Structure 1
Amino acid sequence: MKKIGFLSFGHWTPSPQSQTRSAGDTLLQSIDLAVAAEELGADGAYYRVHHFARQLASPFPLLAAVGARTKSIEIGTAVIDMRYENPLYMAEDAGAADLISQGRLQLGISRGSPEQVIDGWRHFGYTPAEGMNDADMGRQHTEVFLEVLKGEGFAQPNPRPMFPNPPGLLRLEPHSEGLRERIWWGAGSDATAVWAAKLGMNLQSSTLKNDETGEPFHVQQAKQIRAYREAWKEAGHTRTPRVSVSRSVFALVDDRDRAYFGRGGKEEDSVGFIDDKTRAIFGRSYADEPDRLIAQLAADEGIQEADTLLLTVPNQLGVDYNAHVIESILKHVAPALGWR
C-alpha cells in the first residue's frame, strides 16, 4: 500500500489560456482541489512555496483553510524554504494550522532552492552569521524550529504579566501535540538526507537531486532513501519514518489527456546546474496509456522505495481537470501496482 497525494506549485498568470489568472484564483482553487481530492480518496494535498514569484508563497493561511474545509486528507508543504523563516513565529503558525486540521499537518521544510531574486532571504531580514552560508542558516533555523515544537518551556515569565501564567518557564502557544513527528525534510543530496534522519525528520525526495554518481535519477533516489533509513536506524529512533517522492504522472485515458500530454518530450532524465556550480539531475515525467504507464512506474526504484507518492499537478488547467488527473491514477494505475 502507498499513500498518494498531489503536489501543486500554485502557478498563476494573467494569460487567457490559464484557469488561474490571479493569486486569488490560485488560492481558492488550491482549497477546492483538496476538497475534490479527498472526495476521490486521495491521501494528501501538498503545496510548494516560492517567494517573489507568481506562485503559492504564504502557506499557513492556505493550510488552515484547507484544514477547515476537509476532514481526513493530509495537508502539507513540499517545501518551505527555512532561510526565509522566523522559526518561533513559524511554530505558532504551524501549531494553529495543525489544530484546525485536527492533527493532519505534514510539514515539508528545506534549505530551499534557487529563488527569483538574489539572496531573497535578506529582504526578509535574515543574514547568515559569520562563518555560515545561507544553507547553514536554513539548517540552523530548522534546528530551532524542531526544538520549540517539542512544547517545552524556555522563556522566563514576566513577574507582572497581563494574564496569569502557568508555573515554570513558558512555551510557545498554541502547541499541537505530535506535530514534531510530522515534519519532513526536502533533501537534495545523500548527506542532507542522512542529516534529516539523525534529527528525526521524515524525508521528502523530489524530482531533483545532486547528481552524485551519474546513475539514472530513480536509482540515485532509491540509494538516497536507503541511506536515510540506515541513518535513521543507527540514530535509534523508535518510530517508523515516512518517505515521499514526487513525480509528474499522467494516465492518457481521454482526448484531453492526449492533447495535453500525449506528445511526449520528457521521457528521459535531464542534467543541469544549480547556482552555476552544483550538478543536478532532474527526474523524467511519465505520460502514457495506463497499461504502459503501470510497467514504467513499476520499474522506478525511487517510487518503489517510498511509502508516499506526490503527483505534481498542472494547476493552471483548473480544478476539474486536475481532479481528473488524480482520479485516473487512483482508478487505472494504483490498483495494478498494489498501491490500492
Structure 2
Amino acid sequence: MSGMAVAAPPGERLRLDHNERLFPAPELVRLLSQVPASALTRYPEAAGLEAALGEAWDLDADRVLLTAGADDAIDRVCRRWLADGREMITVTPTFEMIPAFATLAGGRVRSIPTLDDPAPLGPILDRIGERTGLVGVISPHNPTGTVAPVERILAIADSLPANAALLVDLAYVEFADRDPTRELLQRDNILVVRTLSKAWGLAGLRTGFVLGPAAAIGDLRAGGAPFPLAGPSIWLAERALALGDRVTATYVAAVRREREQLVSALLVSGAEPFESQANFVLASTDRAAALYRGFRRRGIAIRRFPNFPDLVRITLPGDEATFRHLLRVLDMTVGHIS
C-alpha cells in the first residue's frame, strides 16, 4: 500500500464502488498543513483558479466556470437549457444525476436504452426536434467506461437546433486514449464538463468546472451560488494544477496497467468485461450477485446496479499492493462460487 495511504477506520471496507482515487498524491498531502488562515476567514475568490484552468486550455477566463463538482455543473446546465419542459436526450443507463437534474429542472428525459454505445448517432438524431434543449454524452461513459468517437459527438452538435446545447461530461477523460476537449470547444453549442475528482484525487474538494462559449458560461454563472467552492478547496486545487503531471501521471499509468490485467482476470473467470477507458471495469456475468457477496465478505465493496442484476463494476485502485489483493479476492471468490 502507498506510503501516503490514508488508513481506513477499523472494519471499513475497501471502497472499490465509487470510482474514487484511493490514495492522494503525496505532494498534495504535504500541502494540507500550509493552507493559509485567510482561506478560512475570507469569502473564496475563484478568479485565479478559473484563469489557470483557462490558460491550460488556451481559453479566456470568461469561458471557464468553477463549480462544486461536476454535479453542480450538470445541474446548472440542465436548469439553463431545460426550462418549460424542454427535452434532454441521453442514453440509459448513465450517471444517475443527469436524468435526476433534468427532471428537477422541469425537463423531459428521452432515454435511449443501450449498454453498447454512449452516443448512438442514429437514435439521437431520430429524437432531435423543436423541443430538444439538451443532449447529454459522457465519454468515457459511466457505468460502462466506453468512449464516444469525437467525430460522432461533433456530428450530434451539428444536428442540434439553434437554441439547444450539447453537454459533454469528460470526468474520466484522463484515463482515456484521447482527450477531445480542444476539438469540442471549437463548437459554440458544446459545454464540456470536467472535474478534479477522479484522476487528480480531489473528490473531497468538490472541484468541477465547465468550459464553453462566454455567453453560455455567463448564463451558468448567473444561475448558481456565487461561492460554489470553499477557500481551502480553491487554494489546494490551484497548487494541484501547478504540479500538473506530478499529481496524475503515475496514478493514471497504474490504472491503465491494472485495467488490462483486470479485464484478463474477469475473462478467465467467465465474465464479459466492457472495453473501458475509465478508472473502472464493468462486467456482465450471471454470477454478479455471488461476486458482490463474496467481495463483501472479504472486505471489498464493489458496485451492483438494481436494474441490471448481471452487472458488476470494480474501481481500479491505482496501487500495486491493493490491486494484487483485489486479484486474490477475485480468484478466491470465483473459486468459492464455481
Same fold (TM over 0.5): no
Q: Indicate the structure whose relative CO is greater, using CA pairs within 8 Å and at least 6 residues apart.
A: 2
TM, length-normalised to structure 2: 0.28
TM, length-normalised to structure 1: 0.28
